[in-house]
C-alpha cells in the first residue's frame, strides 16, 4: 500500500491557468515552426497532432516552471505528490525534446538528416527521463514506487535499444515494439495506482489530478497514433 504523505494541497489558480494557456500556445507555435517545411498530408498530420498534444505540453511546462520558482523563492515543496512528479517528468522530457528538435531540425526535412538527428535527441531525452524517474521512486512506496520504478526501467531498456539502433546493431521495429508495450504498461500502472488511492481514500490535490490526467491522456493518444496516422494518410 502507498504511504500517505503530509503535504500542503496545491490549487490551480487563475495565474496558473493563464500560464498554462500561454505555454500551450508557445509550444504549439514552436512545433509548427519546426515542421513548417512539411506540406500536404504530412503537414496537416503534424499540425493536427501538435494541436491535440499542445495542452499536455503546456501543463508539463508549467509544472517545470513552478518547480523552479518554488526552488528559487523557497516556497512550499513542489513536486510533492506522485501526480506532480508525473507532470514534471513529462514536462522536462517533452519540452527538452521539442526545443532540441526545433534547433536542429528547422529546415531539415530530408530523411538523410532527420533520422540520425532524431536518434541522438531520443538518446538524450531518454537519459534525462531515466534520472528523473529515480528521484520519486525513492520518495514513495507501494504502487506509486512500482510505477516510477517500472518507468525508469522502461527508460533504461529504451535507451539501450535506441543506442543499439543508432549503431545499426538493432532495428527501429524492435524499439517501436518496446515503446508500444511500455506505453500500455505505464498506462496500466498509473491507473492501478489511482485506483489504490481511491480505495484507501488518500487525499490528493488538483495538480496531482492534472498530472495523472495528462499522463493517461498522453499514453492513450500515443496508443491511438497508428490508427490516426493510417486514417489521415489513407493507409
Every domain of the chain and the residues it spans:
14-233
pLDDT at 201 over 70: yes
Percent of the chain, pLDDT > 90?
A: 24
CB 90 within 8 A of CB 214: yes
**Residues 6 or more apart whose Cβ sits within 8 Å of residue 18:** none
Q: With CA atoms as reference, report the closest residue to 214 among 125, 129, 91.
A: 91
| CA distance linking residue 198 with residue 1, whole number of Å | 12
pLDDT at 110 over 60: no
pLDDT at 214 over 90: yes
Q: Which of 81-95, 103-117, 216-230 has the lowest mean pLDDT?
A: 103-117
Per residue, the 3-state secondary structure of 49-84, as one string, reads HHHHHHHHHHHHHHHHHHHHHHHHHCCCCCCCCHHH
**Which pLDDT score is estimated for 65?**
93
Distances (CA, A) of 166 to 89, 159, 202: 24, 10, 44
**Residues 6 or more apart whose Cβ sits within 8 Å of residue 196:** 1, 2, 142, 143
Joined together, the cell numbers standing for residue 22 give 500561454
The pLDDT confidence band at residue 4, using thresholds 50, 70 and 90, is very low
Joined together, the cell numbers standing for residue 116 give 540520425
CB 229 within 8 A of CB 48: no
Distances (CA, A) of 157 to 15, 138, 200: 39, 20, 33
CB 2 within 8 A of CB 142: yes
Q: With CA atoms as reference, report the closest residue to 190 among 232, 148, 154, 152.
A: 148
CB 196 within 8 A of CB 82: no
**Which pLDDT score is estimated for 126?**
80
pLDDT at 6 over 60: no
Percent of the chain, pLDDT > 70?
A: 76
**Which pLDDT score is estimated for 106?**
58
pTM value surpassing 0.85: no
Amino acid at each position: 500500500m502507498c504511504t500517505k504523505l503530509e503535504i500542503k494541497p496545491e490549487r490551480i489558480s487563475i495565474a496558473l491557468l493563464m500560464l498554462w494557456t500561454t505555454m500551450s500556445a508557445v509550444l504549439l507555435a514552436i512545433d509548427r515552426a519546426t515542421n513548417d517545411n512539411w506540406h500536404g498530408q504530412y503537414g496537416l498530420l503534424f499540425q493536427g497532432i501538435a494541436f491535440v498534444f499542445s495542452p499536455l505540453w503546456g501543463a508539463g511546462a508549467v509544472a517545470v516552471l513552478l518547480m523552479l520558482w518554488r526552488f528559487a523563492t523557497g516556497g512550499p515543496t513542489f513536486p510533492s505528490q506522485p501526480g506532480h512528479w508525473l507532470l514534471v517528468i513529462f514536462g522536462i522530457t517533452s519540452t527538452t525534446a521539442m526545443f532540441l528538435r526545433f534547433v536542429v531540425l528547422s529546415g531539415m526535412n530530408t530523411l538523410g538528416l532527420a533520422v540520425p538527428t532524431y536518434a541522438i535527441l531520443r538518446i538524450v531525452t531518454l537519459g534525462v527521463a531515466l534520472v528523473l524517474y529515480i528521484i520519486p521512486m525513492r520518495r514513495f512506496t507501494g504502487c506509486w514506487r512500482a510505477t516510477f520504478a517500472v518507468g525508469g526501467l522502461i527508460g533504461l531498456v529504451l535507451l539501450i535499444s535506441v543506442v543499439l539502433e543508432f549503431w545499426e546493431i538493432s532495428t527501429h521495429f524492435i524499439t517501436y515494439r518496446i515503446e508500444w508495450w511500455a506505453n500500455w504498461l505505464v498506462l496500466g500502472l498509473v491507473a492501478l495506482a489511482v485506483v489504490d488511492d481511491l480505495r484507501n481514500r488518500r487525499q490528493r490535490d488538483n495538480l496531482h489530478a492534472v498530472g495523472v490526467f495528462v499522463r493517461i491522456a498522453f499514453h492513450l493518444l500515443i496508443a491511438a497514433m497508428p490508427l490516426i496516422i493510417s486514417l489521415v494518410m489513407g493507409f
